[in-house]
Structure 1
């Protein structure tokens, strides 16, 4: 495959507590993505992105430097994979904050999920994130990877993942993500995507 045809996948690590299993899970997923010919992979740890906690709806005020620094990485992505734990039947605040700081960077791009924590394996968090990403005109893929038996973030430090564990599900999800990423990239090239909605920050 020509390098120009490769898809840029950004994996977002959405949990920011110490002893995070999310970093382990993100690298595990990145390894599977890099094993094929479809993706170039960037792993972005939101704990070190230093995004401000409060987004502003004032379009006159320029974005803070940390927001501007992350924007090109998200803008260049053809697809996203969100690694999330589940806190109290929902997703981490760091993810909502990140989504809310950006608009165009998400639009008409596919999003997949790797989740863990709690009896549901993070499915409650994923269910809510699907609704949020729909509001920024992103497309979430049906297939997910979850680890229901994984301990929560507070107790997962140093835990490793068996490379073979969940491999089939991960590859299937990445195949679907690649299909949508390529289809939507071609669609954006034919006709730039224009949202008819106002930014969520203004609602």
Structure 2
């Protein structure tokens, strides 16, 4: 790979006590770290919050993956607060989703995130990793029980890499005054 690795922020969107997000995020971050074209930064909202470096870490990323549960048919309030505390840091960056939950696998949370991210001028990707019945979808070592999860992660990471490189070039050209 001739280009620099893509800075990828993996955001853990839940701060609840007993949350499952760190298990899901650790698995996904491990998958991403296996790629030479990606440099992973795990951003845990429990540790950063919207005021303690969150915006800077999103700003430093060329791509973002949001790991989100589904709470009451949507995404967690602290994640919304963090998104609302940022703005231009998301502009023209691809955002992927790793969702988990009960029967819907967190997909309703993802659908609620899409218009919020569109308002921030981010590029939400269609390819999503989803875990239905998340607590039972992982073994005791934190690995998904179904091999399809690794395949879905590869599809998402491939799409993120393509979009991140493409949008990084476009941002650089635009900053240099080239017509877009």
Corresponding residue of 1:108: 92
User: Which structure dedicates a bigger proportion of its chain to helix?
Assistant: 2
Corresponding residue of 2:126: 142
After TM superposition, give the deviation of residue 165 of structure 1 in Å. 5.4
Distance 2:86 2:144 in 1: 35
2:142 pairs with one of 147, 151, 160: 160
Corresponding residue of 1:92: 76
Corresponding residue of 1:83: 67
After TM superposition, give the deviation of residue 95 of structure 1 in Å. 1.0
The structure that has the greater radius of gyration is: 1
Does residue 117 in structure 1 map to residue 101 in structure 2?
yes
| TM-score, normalisation: structure 1 | 0.79
Q: Deviations over 1:111-146 (max 9, x none)?
A: 000001121100100001001000000001110000
Distance 1:114 1:162 in 2: 13
Q: Structure 1 residues 99 and 29, CA, compared in 2 at 3 Å: closer, same or farther?
A: same
Q: Deviations over 1:88-125 (max 9, x none)?
A: 10000011111110111000000000001121100100
Distance 2:171 2:77 in 1: 30
Q: Is the 8 A contact 1:24 1:159 kept in 2?
A: no
Count of residue pairs the alignment pairs up: 173
Please list every run of at least 4 consecutive aligned residues from structure 1 whose deviation after the TM superposition is greater than 6 angstroms: none
Q: Deviations over 1:1-57 (max 9, x none)?
A: 35x521000000001111221001101001111111110000011011133xxxxxx
| TM-score, normalisation: structure 2 | 0.89
Corresponding residue of 1:63: none
After TM superposition, give the deviation of residue 73 of structure 1 in Å. 1.4
Structure 1 unaligned blocks of 5 or more:
52-65, 193-203
After TM superposition, give the deviation of residue 159 of structure 1 in Å. 7.4
Distance 2:111 2:88 in 1: 22
Alignment of structure 1 residues 1-203 onto 2, 5 Å: 1-2=1-2, 5-51=4-50, 66-67=51-52, 69-151=53-135, 160-162=142-144, 164=147, 166-192=149-175
Corresponding residue of 2:178: none
Q: Is the 8 A contact 2:54 2:82 kept in 1?
A: no
Aligned to 1:20, the other structure's residue is in SS state coil
